[in-house]
Structure 1
Amino acid sequence: MTYSPPAVWENTVSGGKFANINSPTAGARHDKDLPVGEHPLQLYSLATPNGVKVTVLLEELLEAGHDCEYDAWLIDISEGDQFSTGFVDVNPNSKIPALFDRTKGANVRVFESAAIMLHLAERHRAFLGESRPEMLSWLFWQMGSAPFLGGGFGHFYAYAPEKLQYPIDRYAMEAKRQLDVLDQHLEDNEWMAGNYSIADMAIWAWYGQLCLGRLYEAAEFLAVHEYEHVMEWAKRIDARPAVRRGRMVNRTFGDDESLKLPERHSAKDFDR
């Protein structure tokens, strides 16, 4: 059936997964304070790709000897936790991840995953790549490109109430183009910006996990094996102990119970 848009759009029930939390308006929907732990860094997140970016970085920083202990609190987006008054105070956009940084008595909020990663990497002068302009370029490439992979391809391929060929084809083409961009770059480069950096972590959380079969069950559909340089890069990152820990934090879904750590308050939590 062909859709003819009305003169003025009106909100209707969209259906599909997460339809119950979608709304054309912003702001808090219920009163609830956020929990606060003992560490200077208070992270409020979920182990989606955007959340994994930050927990991987925090675990990498800790493994490298930096002082950045953190509490990671679960935000269950399916239950609408991101619309509490407490969460909206730290991120008015109601998206995970969000961070309160109380280092040295400050009370700084940081939201958007790339902003959090830059904030932490710059503070510790770590994982900034050999070329800062190159690292920033790839970091923001990820921020601009991944919505086509997630909100575009992922939504219509995995979550929409019905399968429609046009949007799936449209976004599959773009997802494969993006993978080809990465593959051509990684053919001549071990890492995205000279050495392992936050650009690698951010891109891996989306595209690396896609190639490893962890997003949308779409690896075969997108023929990810064609991107051999991306696959090699994704496996190198996946083998890092800090990356495995970062994947676990704020994770409540999946069949592997050993990868689930809904909250993280110290390194000892991984022992459980």
Structure 2
Amino acid sequence: MIDLYFAATPNGLKAKLFLEEAGLPYRVIPVALSKGEQFKPEYLAISPNNKIPAIIDYDPVGTDKPVQMFESGAILLYLAEKIGRFIPKDIQGRTQVLEWLFWQMAGLGPMAGQIGHFNIYAAEKVPYAIDRYTREVARLYSVLNQRLEGRSFIVDELSIVDIACYPWIVPHQAHGQNLDDFPHLKRWFDTMGARPATIRTYEGVENVYTPKHGALTEEERRILFGQGAKR
């Protein structure tokens, strides 16, 4: 059994999508971010960066002690290696999966997160930031679109890379992007969205980047975006 500490952000949905694709038994433990549950000491003991997702694997390979992890990319890699699926065994395929996984973690996720923030959550419009991140996300979409030309998946077969990227493309409208401008990406996106595991993952899940989430209370805004360094 795996405990998944979850909120319906793209990073949280990555972990849930993997578990659904893999058919692994898991329990969802909701973390109410706007209520500050990510700062509770018991959660920080699992995820010291106070972000979701995090997992506790009670049936790890090679040890009787439960394994706890934070960081969505690390979680995907750990789980793929645990079950021997969604990551190629040959060095060329594995290398490509790692390249694109790090690309998602270092590029697509952070940049899409920034434009999602400035378009939906920011207390005031910041034209420079909106323009900057809209253009950068368009560039990243273009990179992925070119990669998917002539490919069903990002690295030939379904892998943790597709699972990592898909939830960051779901809120494309909040990113200021039109998927019709990226036909290969759109084809892949539609394929991923039709998978039974994806449908199960998103059942009852509300998109965190829909405009109705823009009206935060001042307390919610302080909790979500007002945390600084502890001294």
Normalised to the residue count of structure 2, the TM-score between the two structures is 0.82
Match of 2:184 among 212, 220, 229: 229
- Please say if residues 47 and 248 of structure 1, whose CA atoms lie closer than 8 Å, have aligned partners that are also in contact: no
Distance in 2, matches of 1:252 and 1:114, equals 22
Deviation at residue 140 of structure 1 after TM alignment: 0.8
Counterpart residue identity of residue 117, structure 1 = L
Structure 1 residues 192 and 253: alpha-carbon distance in aligned structure 2, compared to 1, 3 A threshold = closer
Deviation at residue 44 of structure 1 after TM alignment: 0.7
- Please say if residues 171 and 207 of structure 2, whose CA atoms lie closer than 8 Å, have aligned partners that are also in contact: no
For the pair 1:125 / 2:125, whether they are aligned, the reply is no
For the pair 1:171 / 2:130, whether they are aligned, the reply is no
The residue number in structure 2 matching 1:34 is none
The residue number in structure 2 matching 1:70 is 26
Unpaired stretches in structure 1, ≥5 consecutive residues = 1-39, 63-67, 255-272
Match of 1:248 among 195, 203, 213: 203
> Which whole-Å deviations, capped at 9, do the CAs of 1:83-125 have from their partners, x for residues lacking one?
1111101010000000111116322111100111111110100
- Please say if residues 45 and 72 of structure 1, whose CA atoms lie closer than 8 Å, have aligned partners that are also in contact: yes
**SS of equivalent to 2:45:** helix
Structure 1 residues 90 and 248: alpha-carbon distance in aligned structure 2, compared to 1, 3 A threshold = farther
The residue number in structure 1 matching 2:22 is 61
**Cα-Cα RMSD:** 1.7
Deviation at residue 160 of structure 1 after TM alignment: 0.8
Distance in 2, matches of 1:58 and 1:135, equals 18
Distance in 2, matches of 1:253 and 1:147, equals 17
Deviation at residue 237 of structure 1 after TM alignment: 0.4
Match of 1:109 among 68, 74, 78: 68
Unpaired stretches in structure 2, ≥5 consecutive residues = 209-231
- Please say if residues 2 and 26 of structure 2, whose CA atoms lie closer than 8 Å, have aligned partners that are also in contact: yes
Moved more, 97-106 or 47-56: 97-106
Structure 1 residues 199 and 253: alpha-carbon distance in aligned structure 2, compared to 1, 3 A threshold = closer
The structure that is helix-richer by fraction is 2
Distance in 2, matches of 1:148 and 1:44, equals 24
Distance in 1, matches of 2:207 and 2:182, equals 28
Distance in 2, matches of 1:203 and 1:77, equals 22
The residue number in structure 2 matching 1:239 is 194
Normalised to the residue count of structure 1, the TM-score between the two structures is 0.70
For the pair 1:147 / 2:103, whether they are aligned, the reply is no
For the pair 1:43 / 2:4, whether they are aligned, the reply is yes
Distance in 1, matches of 2:140 and 2:207, equals 27
Counterpart residue identity of residue 49, structure 1 = P
Deviation at residue 222 of structure 1 after TM alignment: 2.4
Deviation at residue 225 of structure 1 after TM alignment: 1.4
Question: Which of structure 1's runs of 4+ aligned residues deviate more than 2 A?
Answer: 221-224, 251-254
The residue number in structure 1 matching 2:38 is 82
The residue number in structure 2 matching 1:193 is 155
Distance in 2, matches of 1:61 and 1:82, equals 26
Counterpart residue identity of residue 151, structure 2 = N
Deviation at residue 253 of structure 1 after TM alignment: 6.4
Deviation at residue 181 of structure 1 after TM alignment: 0.2
Alignment size in residue pairs: 201
> Which whole-Å deviations, capped at 9, do the CAs of 1:26-52 have from their partners, x for residues lacking one?
xxxxxxxxxxxxxx3111111210011
